[in-house]
Amino acid sequence: MTVSDIVYIASTVAITQGICDLIANKCVFQKEKYQSTLSALNRAHIKRDKTLAIPPPSNSSNNPSNTGKNVSNAGIKAMEKYKKKIQQANDDYGLACSNVAQKHTSPQLLTSVVFLILYRVLNIEYSNKVIAVLPFEPWGLIRKFSMRGLDMNQDHVASLDFNAFSNRVVSVNQSCGFLFIYMLCTISVKFVVHKVMGTKPPTGADKGFMTMMDDPRAKNILTNFGVDVDEINEIRKSL
């Protein structure tokens, strides 16, 4: 196993993610506009909780001067008003969550583009180079990733000194190319660095694209296109 190559790839991924997080914090999350969006979310959250804490109206028939029909109509109107108030509070909260989620979407997209460029650059540098040798012969599906980018022709295999990697090598299929190491680094190193240096979305706005689906504006657009929003929500809850 070429430790220096793995350390170089892992450190490059870590430094790149750290720089992206620092830029995002400086240019987005420390700005007054983002802080005001968070404040709007907190106010909407408090307002929704207070609205949901209000008990629903009940039909009152204690007044003998009211007929049954009048009591029924008054109860229906009170219930409709109560439901509209709850719906308005939920819509305001969904809109506030969507606004915060949108602030996090742009840095995430830019980071994805940066890592795509980084992948292309490192892939050229480590093209057809064995980065490591796995201690086992992987299954067919994993082998497609672990040996991606390796041209294991006879001349290339003959030029490799597998004893330099490990004395447990029994097959050339244990060879591991750049893509597999890069994927492991993005899953582990990139995640840890972002966890430490990144800004986590608040509760309610931490579902990414699905948070923006709760935006009443998005629901209206989907409804205009003939999409059943309630059916989508049921599918989301079942997942």
3-state secondary structure of 43: helix
State how far the alpha carbon of 157 is from the alpha carbons of 62, 154, 160, 189, 199, in Å: 93, 5, 5, 31, 46
Residue 98, pLDDT score: 87
Residue 82, pLDDT score: 87
Retrieve residue 174's tokens. 């244990």
> Whole-model pTM?
0.73
Residue 205, pLDDT score: 80
Residue 164, pLDDT score: 54
Residue 129, pLDDT score: 84
Residue 222, pLDDT score: 64
State how far the alpha carbon of 30 is from the alpha carbons of 56, 105, 148, 151, in Å: 41, 16, 41, 48
40-50 pLDDT tens trace? 999 999 999 99
Which segments of the chain have a pLDDT < 50? 1, 61-62, 154-156, 158
